[in-house]
Amino acid sequence: MGKSKVLVVGGTGYIGKRIVKACLAQGHATYVLQRPEIGLDIDKLQMLLSFKEQGARLIEASFSDHQSLVDAVKQVDVVICTMSGVHFRSHNILVQLKLVDAIKEAGNIKRFLPSEFGMDPARMRHAIEPGNVTFEEKMTVRNAIEKAKIPFTYVSANCFAGYFVPNLSQLATLLPPKDKVGIYGDGNQKVIFVDEADVATYTVKTIDDPRTLNKTLYLRPKENILTQRQLVDMWENLTGRTLDKFSISAQDFLASMKGMDLAGQVGVGHFYHIFYEGCLSNFEIGEEGEEASELYPEVQYTRMDAYLKRYL
């Protein structure tokens, strides 16, 4: 059987561009949606052209033109959507419902991967407001997919390293702290960090794999399951400097939401579930899921000390 033809929707995005790269690297005929709405965004256009230079094909279609989406989807076997879903960038998860309609009408798609790539929304029904919107909207998309009987894989990627690792998981910065670092509670909840390039590699590996059909793929590379304290230790060992540590109680952390804008409040809610509740690692993967590093042991995933070295 040949490798599936893949359409990446949202290909110029943060994770999308890495998915395009991984599709090409794994030898898939790779198509990337080009939306007329990009207007004068020269950076986006040039990124799309660079994908073409690397061997991808660009397909024009718009979320405002249903038939154009159907026509795009008909050209491929698999659709991977990386639609925006981070409030401080932009959050358009429900726009995907239009893509679900197009996939349903086209009728040829043998696997759809919607924009997920975070915590498993099915396990986040208890999430606190307003951050729960992320999980509720992802569940709305899941429900539409399953109602339309579209074959799927959901990817639960846990923490993208770039957002959580160099900053030692401090909110509102992406850079390493210089003097002091806030520790969430006792700092001992197990968190799972994944290099974004590895997220893309594992994601693309699933698309022709019958073991991941209608399942959730959880990314839990063993050596990247770390507590916040272990992450801080790693950085201190690399720099040879000790940071002042202060513990933040769950109550104070949640109280910090007051007066923040929506994006900040969503961030605090998500961090609360990850760092105080341990929501990434406090369950066993059941029948509904598979673990990526077990399915694909050949992937040489990036360890977080290597990731951190980029920031020295």
Ligand X SMILES: NC(=O)c1ccc[n+]([C@@H]2O[C@H](COP(=O)([O-])OP(=O)(O)OC[C@H]3O[C@@H](n4cnc5c(N)ncnc54)[C@H](OP(=O)(O)O)[C@@H]3O)[C@@H](O)[C@H]2O)c1
Tokens of 67: 């038939």
Q: 138 catalytic, yes or no?
A: yes
For the CB of residue 13, give the shortest distance to ligand X in the complex, in Å. 2
Q: Cα–Cα distance between 107 and 109 in angstroms, integer?
A: 6
Contact 11, 48 (CB under 8 A): yes
Longest dimension (CA), the chain: 59
Half-sphere exposure (CA, 13 Å, Cβ side) for 136? 9
Q: Cα–Cα distance between 250 and 237 in angstroms, integer?
A: 28
Tokens of 240: 């040879």
For the CB of residue 194, give the shortest distance to ligand X in the complex, in Å. 8
Q: 17, 21, 138, 215: which is the annotated catalytic residue?
A: 138
269 binds ligand X (CB under 6 A): no
Which of 273, 279, 187, 201 has the alpha carbon at shortest distance from 234?
Answer: 187
Of the ranges 70-78, 86-94, 121-129, 292-300, which one interacts with ligand X (CB under 6 A)? 86-94
Contact 175, 239 (CB under 8 A): no
User: What binding mask, one character per residue, do residues 140-169 give for ligand X by CB under 6 A, x or -?
Assistant: -----------------x-xx--x------
Burial (CB count <10 Å: 0-12, 13-18, 19+), residue 213: middle
Phi-psi region of 222 (alpha: psi -120 to 50; beta: other; left: phi over 0): alpha
Q: Which is nearer to ligand X, 61 or 257 (CB)?
A: 61
Q: Which is nearer to ligand X, 84 or 230 (CB)?
A: 84
For the CB of residue 37, give the shortest distance to ligand X in the complex, in Å. 7
For the CB of residue 2, give the shortest distance to ligand X in the complex, in Å. 26
117 binds ligand X (CB under 6 A): yes
Of the ranges 6-14, 125-133, 171-179, 239-247, which one interacts with ligand X (CB under 6 A)? 6-14
Burial (CB count <10 Å: 0-12, 13-18, 19+), residue 190: middle
Tokens of 139: 């569940």
Looking at residues 26 to 55 of the shown chain, list those that interact with ligand X (rule: CB under 6 A).
33, 35, 38, 44
98 binds ligand X (CB under 6 A): no
For the CB of residue 163, give the shortest distance to ligand X in the complex, in Å. 5
Block residue for tokens 């005929």: 29
Q: Which is nearer to ligand X, 83 or 232 (CB)?
A: 83
Q: Which is nearer to ligand X, 193 or 235 (CB)?
A: 193
Sheet holding 190-194, edge to edge: 159-160, 190-194, 225-227
For the CB of residue 70, give the shortest distance to ligand X in the complex, in Å. 16
Q: Which is nearer to ligand X, 236 or 291 (CB)?
A: 291
Q: Which residues bind ligand X (CB under 6 A)?
A: 10-16, 33, 35, 38, 44, 63, 82-86, 89-90, 92, 95, 115-118, 157, 159-160, 163
Which residues are known catalytic residues? 138
